[in-house]
Amino acid sequence: MTVPTARLFFRFLFLSLFLAPLCPSHVTSQARPPETISRDVCIIGGGASGVYTAMRLRQQNISVVVIEAKGRLGGHTNTYIDPGSGTPIDFGVALFQDSSETVDFFAQLNVSLSRSMPVGGILQRIDFRTGESVAPNPGNASEALARYTAVLQRHPYLAEGWNLPDDIPEDLLMSFGQLAKKYDLGPVMETISLYTQGVRSWLDYPAVYLLKFMSLDLVTSLRQGFLQASGHGSSELYQAALRLLGGDVLLRSVVVAASRTGDEGQGQGQGQGHELTVQTEDEQVVTVQAALTILAVPPKGPVLEGFDLDAHEATLFGHFLNGHYYVGLVRVPHYPSGLQLLNRGAHTPYGLPRLPCTFSVAATAVPDIVTVSYVSEEPRSAEEVQQAVGEDILRVLGRERQDDEEPRFVAFADHSPFEMSVSREAIEGRFYDRLNGLQGHRNTFYVGATWEYPGSSPIWRAVDRLLPAIIRRLEGFQGR
């Protein structure tokens, strides 16, 4: 295979990122909810995994309620509609793997798909800190990609969940930098970096994370193409889901307290077992009663503040590390059509940029609007990120700061916490066996990238694998 073209890199930039829509039409006014809601299942999180789970459960005549903190569904899907032309711009999840899960889910929601194949573009590799031009990594990228693929093929179990063998191979535990040196992956490291944005300084990561992120399915898609929403952007999928789920979604709502009692066989029918206190945007307090709870967000940060974690749950979740990933759209007057700017380190291993940094700037279908991405190991405010990105754009384009040339954000999203990981020592200590053991603990199940890897299709596939266990647990309760 030949090396993907420059525009392919950038058009597929956010594929693996379960990358939260900003489209204004997602902000839907809702009727004031009742004070108490009783459902079979309460799903916390309205991203790709939470929405898919809700739709699949409803197909089984299982009642659900989805609690979503933002004003729309879709998680890491970001779509901006240009007010002048009406052109949709996806700056989050833009492309999907060609899988039965993708095709069926889009068909269920009556959203059309089209195939997206590689196209050309103008790529410039620049050290954003200095403005210095950087040469591509030497060597044959196609041959390096073949070597990388061979490594993936030796570990087929990485394609589904975190079911590592008892004797974990050293190739998975060593740092990815060591793996790259062992298999001479230098010529393909730029390609890998484009699909692993937000993953902190990943040369030091246990290699298993990069191998799951840049998966065999993803490598196959590089050769065969991807699928994309062919109408009004990726967010159209979640707009359709919101219309169908209707009153089963509480937007702009967070769980502020929870009581999750019971384990297998101890449920007492619909509306019993779990009681969650939910606060809505207008300060109304709603009590949600459910037999089961499904957490469909990364188990870290504010989402856990109202959760009644036991010592076992808290200990496991406390192991997680994560990166901070920010994306947006910037209006840059007189930006060259078709130009793709990739931040490369002039004097770093494999040309990978030092963090924190603006990772890329890429032209879109709308003149003078570019997509940008920014990566940091530590959290940064929106103001800090936007200022840094603006300064980088002016520096790289060789422009002085002027009011009429000032880069201006028209859309912005924070995708943190991004890519949950643990140390090599934790992996060797069978962390993921214990994490998998949480499924069903206290009548709570977990879906999403933490239990799979970022990518819509594999996460939907993982939900389907877990669904029978959820249904069996519900059938064990009295009254079902």
- Domains of the chain with bracketed CATH: 35-114+229-262+273-319+421-478 (3.50.50.60), 118-224+321-416 (3.30.70.1990)
Residues of the chain with pLDDT below 70 are: 1-34, 118-120, 262-272, 401-404, 478-480
- The pLDDT value recorded for residue 281 is 85
Q: What is the per-residue pLDDT for 270?
A: 43
Query: In the 8-state DSSP scheme, what is residue 123?
Result: E
Of 427, 423, 435, which Cα lies nearest the Cα of 299? 435
Residue 402 has a pLDDT of 66
Q: What angle is formed at CA 30 by the lines to CA 28 and CA 32, rounded to 5 degrees?
A: 160
pLDDT of residue 271: 41
pTM: 0.90
CA distance 335 to 405: 10
pLDDT at 196: 85
Side-chain-side CA neighbours of 434 within 13 Å: the count stands at 14
The pLDDT of residue 401: 65
Peptide bond just before 333 cis, omega within 30 deg = no
Residue 187 CB contacts under 8 Å (≥ 6 apart), including other chains: 137, 138, 139, 140, 141, 143, 144
Per-residue confidence (pLDDT) for residue 100, from 0 to 100: 94
Q: Which residues pair with 340 in a beta bridge?
A: 123, 362
Kind plus residue range of the DSSP H or E element containing 115? strand 113-116
DSSP 463: H
pLDDT at 46: 97
CA atoms within 13 A on the CB side of 326: 25
Residue 390 Cα distances to 61, 332, 383, 472, angstroms: 50, 9, 11, 52
Query: CA dist 206 to 155, 168, 187, Å?
Result: 15, 12, 20
Write down the pLDDT at residue 160. 94
Backbone angles phi and psi of 141, in degrees to 5: -65, -35
SS3 label, residue 419: strand
- For tokens 């060609």, name the residue: 98
